[in-house]
Amino acid sequence: MERAFAVDTGAKQRRAGVVALPTGSGTGSGLVRPPQSAGMRSGFVRLSPEQDVGLHSTGANEELIVVLTGHGDLVVDGQGVLHLHPLHVAYVPPQTKHDVICRGCEELQYVYAVSPAGPGDGRG
C-alpha cells in the first residue's frame, strides 16, 4: 500500500496525504497513525458473516466507525446493540467496552478512526 504522507517528526510538521484502502484478503489493516498524525489512528476492517473483532475498550480514546458495505451490530457495554448499515457512522465514547459483529450474508467493511479524548469528555 502506497502512503502519500510526508512527515518531518523533528519539527512536528505533518502534511495531508492519501492512502488507498486495501483490496486483498485479511481482517484489517492500519491506515493512518503517528507519526503521520498527531494522535489519531485509523484502519480498515473486513469481517466475514458472523465474524467479530473481539470485545475491546476505547480506553482514553474515542472511536468513529464508518460503515462502507455490509451490515453488522455494534455491541456496546451498558448500552446494548446498535445496528450498523452501509454509509452510516457510529460513535463510541472513551472508556467503553464494545465489539463489532458482521451480520447477514456479505462482508462487513468499515473504516475506524481512534483519537485521544480531550479534557472535559465527561468520563472522569
Look up the pTM and report it: 0.82
Chain segment 60-80, per-residue pLDDT in tens: 999 999 999 999 999 999 999
Q: What is the pLDDT of residue 121?
A: 55
Domain ranges of the chain: 27-116
Are the beta carbons of 102 and 108 closer than 8 angstroms?
yes
> How much is the CA Rg of the chain, to the nearest whole Å?
15
Task: Determine the topology of domain 27-116 in CATH.
Answer: Jelly Rolls (2.60.120)
**Distance, CA of 79 to CA of 74 (rounded, Å):** 10
Task: Using the predicted structure, report yes or no on whether residue 16 has a pLDDT greater than 90.
Answer: no
Which of 65, 54, 76 has its CA nearest to residue 115? 65
**Distance, CA of 3 to CA of 116 (rounded, Å):** 23
| Range in 33-37, 109-113, 119-123 with the lowest mean pLDDT | 119-123
Mean pLDDT computed over 89-114: 96
**Distance, CA of 93 to CA of 59 (rounded, Å):** 9
CB atoms within 10 A of CB 33: 13
